[in-house]
Amino acid sequence: LPYSPMDFSSLEATMAVQQLSPLMHGGHGRSPQMSPVHSPQQSPQLSPMLSPLLSPQLSPDSPPRASPHSVTQEVNEETGLHRVTWMVDSGKLRGHERQTVSPCFELPLGNGLVSFRLVIFPKPNADGKGSASFRKANGRGSVLLKSEASHGKVTFYVSIGQHDRAKEPRGPVTHDFARHSTCGLPKGSEQWDFNSVVNEASQTFAVCLDIRTGAEGDD
């Protein structure tokens, strides 16, 4: 049957509505893609500097703390004295230890090298009762030199502190280790105030030994 003009008009109107329909409703389907920056999955990438894993890198220039309980040695070419420097942790002065011993170091004595150690002792209690400690002695004490050999004669000086905190060396003391394995300064001059020479930055203090050994120590 032939179509009437009204039929063609109705058909065209229906087709126009069908073509417009996806444009009118397609915006809802694309809305999640229109704002991907708001996705919670991407938020960690928007502020990487806030990550706690990066915090150690924020201060790479922090000065390292000086290592305590180390011994260094050098020789004075003019005097022939060996300088031994022992860095001690200042925390020892607040503890209840009855002595603190340095790492072992070697010095020429006789026909070879001999092992030595420095030892610091707290000042004895004023009443003579109970065990002494650096805490009770307020950081005061004495320095002894101990030899691993049972022979050999040396002459030495003892001092504490470094640079502007250095104290004047005390001595000389001459000792023959064949008579005793340890030796310190004479009574009346053996006590030191270790707290007075503590380096606040490194929380350490220096105990220094200037010693002449071998043939020169036999004079």
What average pLDDT does the segment 124-153 reach? 92
Task: With cut-offs at 50, 70 and 90, classify the pLDDT of residue 70.
Answer: very high
Mean of pLDDT over the chain? 78
User: Which residue is listed with tokens 């030595």?
Assistant: 116
Judge contact between 178 and 152, C-beta under 8 A: yes
Examine the pLDDT at 122 and tell me if it is beyond 90: yes
Judge contact between 114 and 106, C-beta under 8 A: yes
Least confident window among 21-35, 45-59, 86-100: 45-59
E strand or H helix that includes residue 145:
strand 140-147
Least confident window among 19-33, 40-54, 118-132, 158-172: 40-54
Note if the bond before 108 is cis, omega within 30 degrees.
no
Q: Which residues are 111's β-sheet partners?
A: none
Task: With cut-offs at 50, 70 and 90, classify the pLDDT of residue 22.
Answer: very low
Judge contact between 138 and 158, C-beta under 8 A: no
Task: With cut-offs at 50, 70 and 90, classify the pLDDT of residue 214.
Answer: low
**How many whole angstroms separate alpha carbon 148 and alpha carbon 144?**
13
- 114 backbone φψ class: left, alpha, beta (φ>0; ψ -120 to 50): beta
Over residues 30-39, the pLDDT tens digits come to 444 444 444 4
Query: By percentage, how much of the chain surpasses pLDDT 90?
Result: 58
Structure-token pair, residue 63 = 């000065």
- 23 backbone φψ class: left, alpha, beta (φ>0; ψ -120 to 50): alpha
E strand or H helix that includes residue 71:
strand 70-75
Query: By percentage, how much of the chain surpasses pLDDT 70?
Result: 67
Judge contact between 185 and 170, C-beta under 8 A: yes
